[in-house]
């Protein structure tokens, strides 16, 4: 890639990393070049969201340390700039263009066809209905509902009021996966618990409204919730602030958010976007990039929860042990977690 053209390489059916009926495309070789350049366009909320964007950035930094890749990033100011940002990087013939967030999906499909000699990857990619995934596009996806099930169980085991909350960002199927898994986890360990749910909106800006997040969380606290899980990007900063102000517990998302509110972040549902980004960059560096869907869940260590010295005072060892046992049950197929 770059000035080198992609050529058809090894034929490989990918059984382990396929999802939704889409198999990975044949491997595509990359001719060696002096330096590999990676371009990344951030999602709504941008850098320092303490969530998925920061996780993607950690993956790039990890790749830069391991392989010395060059990194170009763009933080679009609004939705209209996303396609232009991706196009700008593709036109420069970088080796890999990454879009962070499901909102990029259709633009990635369009540009992958427009620039067949450039590799593309989408974090939280959702294939458009009836569209064949271009062979130079890799969709990086996660079974968020599995990780959410485990932190839901933690909430159900920790709550004293038997009322817990969930605050989502944009009301879309992706965030519904978080909610569905969380609700299932709570009810698995606490059938009598009530789960309150609210969303910040139906537009992308719902992921970047901390004030609204605080309002939604405060309303749930007023109704008796004593643990609130969020899946809302920067909006979640308001959820954590509400919990801190009221002395209640919150569960972070995507990255470890303990340090955002050390008094109150019970745990965080980790989504290893950094691992997915690091791996796809490594494939490009090694000349084994291939398109198609790649999905990570509990079994692949793509999602999980935080239990370490920082949150030990909030998360009792018996709760940690039960959560790990439930995760093992999910991996073994003895517990089926709903995604909707």
Average pLDDT, the chain: 89
pLDDT tens-digit series, residues 97-142? 999 999 899 999 999 999 999 999 999 999 998 889 999 999 999 9
185 and 307 in a common domain = yes
**Three-state SS at 302:** coil
100 and 78 in a common domain = yes
**Which residue is it, tokens 């890799």?**
138
Cα gap 93→2, rounded to integer Å: 5
- Which residues, 6 or more positions from 333, have their beta carbon under 8 angstroms from its beta carbon? none
Is residue 339 assigned to a domain? Answer: no
Is residue 106 assigned to a domain? Answer: yes
Q: What is the pLDDT of residue 16?
A: 33
Is residue 20 assigned to a domain? Answer: yes
Q: State the average pLDDT over residues 210-225.
A: 98
Is residue 322 assigned to a domain? Answer: yes
Q: What is the pLDDT of residue 292?
A: 96
Are 180 and 188 contacting, i.e. CB atoms less than 8 angstroms apart? no
Q: Say how many domains are in the chain.
A: 2
Are 196 and 33 contacting, i.e. CB atoms less than 8 angstroms apart? no
286 and 247 in a common domain = no
Pairing of strands 265-271, 303-305: antiparallel
For residue 6, pLDDT over 70 is answered with: no
The number of beta carbons lying within 10 Å of the beta carbon of residue 132 is 11
Host H or E run for residue 73:
strand 70-74
125 and 50 in a common domain = yes
315 and 224 in a common domain = yes
318 and 172 in a common domain = yes
Is residue 236 assigned to a domain? Answer: yes
Structure tokens that stand for 314 in this block: 């909030």
231 and 107 in a common domain = no
308 and 291 in a common domain = no
Cα gap 178→157, rounded to integer Å: 18
Tell me the torsion sign for CA atoms 267, 273, 279, 282. Answer: negative
Q: At what angle do helices 273-286 and 52-67 cross, to 10 degrees?
A: 30
186 and 46 in a common domain = no
Is residue 338 assigned to a domain? Answer: no
Cα gap 310→165, rounded to integer Å: 23
Angle at 177 between CA 173 and CA 182, to 5 degrees: 145
pLDDT tens-digit series, residues 196-206? 999 999 998 89
The parent domain of residue 218 ranges over: 144-263+301-332
CATH of the domain at 183: 3.40.50.2300
221 and 157 in a common domain = yes
Q: What is the pLDDT of residue 45?
A: 72
Q: What is the pTM of this model?
A: 0.84
- Which residues, 6 or more positions from 295, have their beta carbon under 8 angstroms from its beta carbon? 17, 18, 19, 141, 142, 143, 302
197 and 107 in a common domain = no
**Three-state SS at 333:** coil
Q: Where does the pLDDT of residue 47 fall: very low under 50, low under 70, confident under 90, or very high at 90 and above?
A: confident
Is residue 2 assigned to a domain? Answer: no
319 and 307 in a common domain = yes
Mean pLDDT check: name the lowest of 27-31, 37-41, 115-119, 135-139: 27-31
């Amino acid at each position: 890639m770059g000035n080198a053209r992609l050529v058809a390489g090894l034929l490989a059916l990918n059984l382990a990393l396929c999802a939704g009926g889409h198999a990975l495309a044949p491997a595509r070789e990359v001719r060696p070049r002096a330096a590999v350049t990676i371009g990344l366009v951030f999602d709504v909320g941008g850098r320092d969201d303490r969530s998925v964007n920061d996780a993607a950035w950690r993956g790039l930094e990890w790749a830069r340390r391991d392989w010395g890749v060059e990194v170009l990033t763009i933080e679009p100011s609004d939705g209209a700039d996303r396609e232009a940002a991706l196009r700008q990087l593709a036109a420069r013939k970088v080796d890999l263009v990454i879009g962070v967030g499901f909102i990029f999906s259709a633009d990635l499909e369009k540009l992958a066809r427009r620039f067949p000699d450039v590799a593309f990857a989408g974090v939280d990619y959702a294939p458009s209905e009836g569209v064949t995934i271009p062979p130079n596009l890799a969709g990086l996806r996660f079974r968020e509902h599995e990780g959410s099930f485990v932190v839901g169980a933690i909430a159900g085991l920790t709550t004293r009021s038997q009322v817990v909350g969930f605050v989502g960002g944009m009301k879309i199927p992706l965030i519904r996966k978080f909610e569905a898994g969380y609700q299932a986890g709570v009810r698995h360990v606490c059938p009598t618990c009530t789960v309150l749910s609210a969303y910040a909106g139906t537009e992308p800006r719902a992921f970047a409204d901390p004030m609204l997040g605080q309002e939604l969380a405060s309303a749930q606290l007023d109704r008796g919730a004593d643990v609130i899980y969020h899946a809302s990007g920067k909006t979640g900063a308001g959820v954590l602030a509400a919990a801190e102000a009221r002395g209640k517990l919150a569960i972070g998302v995507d990255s470890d958010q303990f340090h955002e509110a050390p008094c109150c972040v019970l745990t965080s549902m980790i989504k290893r976007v950094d691992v997915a980004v690091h791996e796809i960059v490594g494939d490009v560096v090694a000349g084994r990039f291939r398109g198609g869907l790649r999905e990570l869940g509990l079994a692949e260590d793509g999602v999980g929860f935080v239990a370490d010295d920082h949150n030990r005072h909030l998360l009792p060892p018996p709760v940690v042990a039960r959560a790990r046992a439930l995760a093992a049950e999910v991996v073994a197929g003895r517990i089926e977690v709903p995604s909707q």
